[in-house]
Amino acid sequence: MKKITLTKGEGEGSTLLSAFDAALFDAGIANYNLIHLSSIIPTGFQIVVKKPNINQSEFGKKLYVVIAERRENEIGKEAWAGIGWVLKNDNSGEGLFVEHVGTTKEDVDNEIMSSLNDMKTRRQGNFGEIHSETIGVRCQSKPVCALVAAVYGSESW
């Protein structure tokens, strides 16, 4: 089976964009051109939760991801991001991702559960347990970013 790596990171910077860049570094997926995917997990994939190491030899390559990222620059406010997923019970690897962001962990968790329950019902499939990964960060003095990414793989141009 092919692997989808689920990673997460947080970052702080002098701007919202540099906080996002710091979060990409923390998640181990910096230096790529991100290509955002929708939320369908194709046949033959396995989800692995781990933080990859930054690979300098991949600088500038395309990276296919489902990503949730929230940026915040108001002092005292929090940025939360999360990805939830569910797989079919038939060991095909087929499944669904959802990505949500918010200002509290509870809000993100509730959105993930609600979305995946709706999507499972709509597809009338035999889906298993819902899983999720979330991360949050509070803005103390500089802009911050929280992100979770499901990484399918990289590709040259």
* CATH superfamily of this structure's domain 2-155: Pyruvoyl-Dependent Histidine Decarboxylase, subunit B (3.50.20.10)
Out of 18, 31, 39, 92, the active site residue is 39
Is 38 labeled as catalytic in the residue annotation? yes
Q: Which amino acid is at 4?
A: I
Segments making up each domain of the chain, as ranges: 2-155
- 40 Cα distance to chain centroid: 14
Is 99 labeled as catalytic in the residue annotation? yes
Q: Give the pLDDT score at 91.
A: 86
| Residue ranges, the chain, pLDDT below 50 | none
Out of 10, 69, 72, 99, the active site residue is 99
Q: Give the pLDDT score at 54.
A: 85
**Sheet of 40-41, strand order:** 40-41, 95-102, 78-87, 131-138
Q: Give the pLDDT score at 150.
A: 98
Out of 14, 38, 57, 141, the active site residue is 38
Q: Give the pLDDT score at 101.
A: 98
pTM: 0.94
Q: Give the pLDDT score at 78.
A: 98
